[in-house]
Amino acid sequence: MIKLLAFDLDGTLTQHKTLLEPENRDALLKLSSKYRLVMVGAGNCRRIFRQMGDFPIDVIGNYGMQCGRYNARTKELDIEESHVPCDRESVEDRVAMLRERYGFTEYSGESVQFHDSGCVTFPVLGTTANAADKLEFDPDRSRRRAIYPEVCRVFSDFNVFVGGSSSFDMAPRPYNKYYALQAYANANGFGMDEVVYVGDDYGTGGNDESVYLSGVRFIPVDDYRDFPEIMVREGIL
């Protein structure tokens, strides 16, 4: 009954923000001969597409606020985008309050990152923090999960996710990965009982959590290097 396979990227098919490795690319090519494939990402569609080495696949970005349809003629994505107005002053004031409350007052670059779609990132270390500092900040996400309920309360008009290595991502309601996947499936004639989702970030505040809790068949990948083996074990590849 499986007709549509949906994937997260970072941690599932690749290391964080690194190129798709040959073994996982080969596995995706084999899967594409049997199923429709779609990426369901938190980031920008073109960034995901480039990270995958321009792999021929539709890409949902920013929790459904972008949708990139692969164009076989141009070998590029044709992107449709939703723009939700964002009250930047209100967001900046709320982030400043959280920084004061939890001692995150020293940061590099901007305090908030505003995306064109209307999504927001609260980068705890700032927008220009170096990669090593970000990786060391909260490797097991315990620091951010400790304050996650409060961030959700303060940003009750957004769906909040423990994002990346040192950030919170916020998508205006009702956008999240399950909402995005359901919309894509409906638009392309798939029932949700024909969908399988593959992801790694399914814990509290994770950006795959909404799919994990939805009842859609969910295949966890805890190490992206195991992806082909897991697909074989699950009887999909």
Both structure tokens of 92: 């900046």
* Among 158, 218, 217, residue whose Cα is nearest residue 193: 217
Categorize the per-residue pLDDT at 19 as very low, low, confident or very high, splitting at 50, 70 and 90.
very high
Q: What is the pLDDT of residue 116?
A: 83
Q: What is the pLDDT of residue 18?
A: 92
Tell me the per-residue pLDDT of 111-124, one tens digit each, with 9 for 90 and over: 999 988 889 999 99
Three-class DSSP category at 41 = coil
Q: What is the pLDDT of residue 146?
A: 96
**Mean pLDDT within 188-215:** 97
**Mean pLDDT within 136-154:** 96
Task: Give the Cα separation of 195 and 193 in Å (integer).
Answer: 6
Among 83-87, 175-179, 222-226, where is mean pLDDT lowest? 83-87
**Mean pLDDT within 182-196:** 97
Domains of the chain (ranges, CATH numbers): 4-82+175-233 (3.40.50.1000), 88-172 (3.30.1240.20)
**Mean pLDDT within 8-13:** 96
